[in-house]
Amino acid sequence: KVEIFLADYEPPKTVVTDIRLVFCLFDTHADITATSTFTRNGDLAAPMVLDAGDMLEIVSVKLDGVAARHSRGKRTLTVEGAGAGGTLEIVTRIKPQDNTKLEGLYRSGGMFCTQCEAEGFRQITAFPDRPDVMARYAVRIEADKASCPVLLSNGNPVASGGLGEGRHFAEWEDPFPKPSYLFALVAGDLGHITDHFTTASGRRVTLNIYADPRDLDKCDHAMESLKRSMRWDEEVYGLEYDLDLFNIVAVGDFNMGAMENKGLNVFNTKCVLASPETATDRDYDSVEGIIGHEYFHNWTGNRVTCRDWFQLSLKEGLTVFRDQEFSADMGSRAVKRLDDVRILRSHQFPEDGGPLAHPVRPDRYVEINNFYTVTVYNKGAEVIRMMHRLIGAEAFRKGMDLYFARHDGQAVTCDDFAAAMADASGKDLSQFKRWYSQAGTPVLSVSRARTGNDVIVTIEQETAPTPGQPVKEPFHMPFLMGWVATDGQAITPVVTGGDWREDGCLLEVREGRQSFTFKDVPEGAVPSLLRGFSAPVRLKSDLTREDLAFLLRYDSDPFARWEAAQTLARDQVLGVTAALIEGRNAPADTPFSDAVESLFADKALDPAFLAELLTLPGEVELGQMMEVLEPGHLHEAREATLNDLATRYEAEMRARYDSLRPKGGYKQDGAARAARRLANLLLQFLARRPGGDALVKAHYEAADNMTDRIAALSAVSDSDFACRGAILADFYERSKDEPLVLDKWFAVQATSRRGDTVQKVRELSRHPAFTLKNPNRLRSLVSSFTMLNQAGFHDPSGQGYRFLAETILAVDKINPLIAARLVAPLGRWARVEPARQAMMLDSLRFILDEPKLSDDVRELAAKSLK
């Protein structure tokens, strides 16, 4: 496959306005007749070239009812004599039961289902399979009635009936023109739950969630989340749903989390099913967020879509921003923001600082599936959040209205979105748009200088080179800050070049180095920096440990307050790490452990927020801050810090733990969830103390919900408690018929901090319940280990690297898209100590030596080796 460039974009030469698809589904194959009405641009004498996937058999091609000359390329179908336009009929045959790539039409369990984003539609029929070709779809599905009683596609049902010989059909029509990536079909033996939603303008919409009949008792939370999403989009953006029917289907084998097909969202079971016995509180949140995300795509993605795949963040960055705001409004805004910052720091920053760094709008790719990344999604959402902050909520809403007024029904670019925001607000966003084109995480250095009564705050920004981008221009970003006086009260000193708002003073940073003068700042006042994490940057500042401990007590901004704790914790862990590396005694000062004392004393603190403050930064995030990563020493140092906290605060932790344990039965409300969050965190500390064994065992046995049970299981899995084997076996027995719960059993062992985890993971990969074919099961063991267990993956034996390389090659033969998503951890060798570095490079070469490697894996492995 060749590299494709944004700069080479050309409008489509073939445009399809209407398409009728007839699917005849059988156990052995599927026959598809696609009849398209098309027009052509450019040289009309030239043959028509359509995208045609490698799994597609072309049976016949007709133009205006007459057989047409055609030829097959590796990825194309060329048709002669198409002229200026007409009707094209293509008959194709495929084998859904053999489709292990889970792209196009495939089978999951007994069910037929589709996944077309980004380029799966070409595995169903030959077509101009690009998002700027938008057509109206009419679909007929014929299948066996007993095995496939449910037949679904996009839009509205228009006809159905029997066909004899045990077969039946259904017909669907979608009135909204859409790109092919939003096409969907589902046929299978599914149950469903039904509800209704009445839109702001009074239309009654039927809502269905389809699932395996055994799972119908786990669909209620998704249904409630859907109704909340629909209401929220009306209230916040004035956006109503536009069909009379909205269907969701839960599928067990799915490459992504979920897919926003028009009127027929298809969900990975993991992202839709939830019951107290099978899902943790976090899972509940994730279901709500993803239901919202896919629903919000109906406007940001479907009604207005992407011109080409370089613009992926146009719909994904914006829709992640929307789902984050939805979740913030439904639960705790403060806690939600911290969760989102953690994802950036532990996943996006490493991507942005490594060999696979790319801009939010990439300018080249070999395989588009490799660009469904945390950069396009989550950094893309930060870019939208910064725009929102720079122009304000009101102008942002006007900008959204203008965007829909201008572009409803169109396929557009990130520039079109930025133009709507600029025009609606009057703000010049031309420099700001560098966030779309420049990769890399800026480092901001903030320092203070007092002159008389004033304080000058100087902000410098610097962004290191990334592959293909040796020189970076300064970014335009919002920097939100505040001041706290010595009595703990917020103050708002007059500032030149800044603007005070409710949540702080907004400074617009545009230069490499810029200063702002705050007038009459009382002696001893402490600045609270980067409030709300107002820009996706790494912050360095001249705040002292005393300043940080002070902010931890008094800052009114939840992010800055949490960040003070995180900074102290990073200092402490990295101090111990350095001592271990140099063979010195651990430093005597323990700034984070000291500061924690005030937290236990503060009885007004929300338990969920206290849990956040007590959670140390993860090893991946901490590793990013080391010049040379020594994963073993870092792990040991972080463990030592956790042990220090557990030892010093055992009494407080035990008392608080006891007070938080539920008196009555399981509840889902905010208070019960906050109590579980803190109690389960404290359990991890207390498990380190004498008697931890009995406490954890009791916690496990008392658990009446998955949040508590998995917390105990995780503590057990980390330990060498006598009860370890029995509890892991008990959990397995309970979960063996619940795939999503069994995934947790694999994941909890893969993330164990025990020294033998790499061997254990190998062993588990041979467990009869393990399979490389199901993406959830694969990720539960392999990605949990390689992405979340830094010390285990970097086991000094090099076995972690070898295991990953072998797994990638095995998965590549089944599902290249999923294989490619496993590559990243091996590519982060540049900053690792030399012995491990050599073994990581060997493993990359081992992958690249495979002659039949997919383009997907080759693109990422080759970039990773550079």
Which residues are annotated as catalytic?
Answer: 294
Contacts of 812 by beta carbon, 8 Å cutoff, 6+ apart: 819, 850, 853, 854, 856, 857
Residue 125 binding target from ligand DPP, Zn ion, none, CB below 5 to 8 Å by type: none
Cα separation of 815 and 197, whole Å?
38
Identity of the residue, 320 or 758, whose beta carbon is nearer to Zn ion in the bound complex: 320
Minimum CB separation of residue 115 from ligand DPP in Å reads: 9
| E-state strands within 522-572 | 526-528, 538-541
Report residue 84 CA to chain centroid gap.
43
**Applying CB under 6 A, which of residues 89, 117, 283, 856 lies at the interface with ligand DPP?**
117
Cβ nearer to ligand DPP, comparing 258 with 686: 258
Please return the burial class of 601, using the count of CB atoms within 10 Å of its CB with bins 0-12, 13-18 and 19+: exposed
- Cβ atoms of 121 and 259 within 8 Å: the answer is no
Closest CB 294 distance from ligand DPP, rounded Å:
6
Q: CB-wise, 413 or 790, nearer to ligand DPP?
A: 413
CA-to-CA dists, residue 367 to 54, 186, 251, 309, 386, angstroms: 15, 26, 25, 10, 29
Q: How far is the CB of 319 from Zn ion (least distance, A)?
A: 5
Report CA-CA distances (Å) from 414 to 219, 244, 360: 35, 30, 10
- With respect to ligand DPP, which residue has the nearer C-beta, 121 or 746? 121
Interface ranges with Zn ion (CB under 5 A): 316, 319
Residue 294 touches ligand DPP, criterion: CB under 6 A: yes
Distance CA 48, CA 93 (A): 21
Piece in contact with ligand DPP (CB under 6 A), picked from 229-237, 254-262, 710-718, 832-840:
254-262
Stretch (H or E) spanning 282: helix 281-296
Looking at the Cβ atoms of 56 and 184, the one nearer to ligand DPP is 184
Please choose which of ligand DPP, Zn ion, none residue 171 contacts, taking the beta carbon within 5 to 8 angstroms, the exact cut-off set by kind: none
Q: Which of 88, 259, 543, 808 binds ligand DPP (CB under 6 A)?
A: 259
Residue 259 contacts which entry, Zn ion, ligand DPP, none (Cβ below 5-8 A, type-dependent): ligand DPP
The Cα–Cα gap between 456 and 449 comes to: 5
Q: What number of other Cβ atoms are within 10 A of residue 500's Cβ?
A: 13
Q: Does 256 bind ligand DPP (CB under 6 A)?
A: yes
Binding segment toward ligand DPP, per CB under 6 A, in 211-219, 251-259, 441-449, 502-510: 251-259
Q: Give the pair of three-digit tokens for residue 440.
A: 């890399």
> Rule CB under 6 A: is residue 253 a binding residue for ligand DPP?
no
**Interface with ligand DPP includes 374 (CB under 6 A)?**
no
In the complex, minimum distance from the CB of residue 172 to ligand DPP, in angstroms, rounded to a whole number: 21
What residues pair up with 39 in beta bridges, in sequence order? Answer: 15, 85
Q: Which stretch binds ligand DPP (CB under 6 A): 252-260, 268-276, 430-438, 843-851?
A: 252-260
Minimal distance, residue 260 CB to Zn ion, in Å: 6
Closest CA relative to residue 674, chosen from 615, 600, 605, 608: 608
The reply to whether 260 sits near ligand DPP by the rule CB under 6 A is yes
Write down the least CB distance from residue 118 to ligand DPP, Å.
Answer: 8
> Is 103 a residue that touches ligand DPP (CB under 6 A)?
no
> Residues binding ligand DPP: what is the number (CB under 6 A)?
8
- Residue 258 binding: pick among ligand DPP, Zn ion, none (C-beta 5-8 Å cut-off by kind): ligand DPP
Contact 151, 170 (CB under 8 A): yes
Piece of the chain touching ligand DPP by CB under 6 A; list 256-264, 393-401, 505-513, 754-762: 256-264
The answer to whether 288 contacts ligand DPP (rule: CB under 6 A) is: no
Distance of CA 71 to the CA centre of its chain: 40
Q: Which long-range contacts (CB under 8 A, 24 or more apart) does 204-208 make?
A: 204/244, 205/230, 205/241, 205/243, 205/244, 205/245, 205/246, 206/244, 206/245, 206/246, 207/246, 207/248, 208/245, 208/246, 208/247, 208/248
**801 to 478, 629, 794, 806, 846: CA distances (angstroms):** 40, 16, 7, 9, 11
Nearer to ligand DPP, 370 or 749 (CB): 370
Cβ proximity to ligand DPP, 300 vs 461, nearer residue: 300
SS3 state at 528: strand
- The helix/strand/coil state of 463 is coil
Choice between 319 and 370, CB closer to Zn ion: 319
Site residues for ligand DPP, window 769-798 (CB under 6 A)?
none
What's the closest the beta carbon of residue 376 comes to ligand DPP, in angstroms? 9
Instruction: Name the one residue in this structure whose structure tokens are 């694999």.
Output: 746
Structure tokens at 404: 């829909």
Q: What is the nearest approach in angstroms of ligand DPP to the Cβ of residue 43?
A: 34
Q: Give the residue, chosen from 212, 285, 316, 612, that forms a contact with ligand DPP under the rule CB under 6 A.
A: 316
Binding-site ranges for ligand DPP (CB under 6 A): 117, 256, 258-260, 293-294, 316
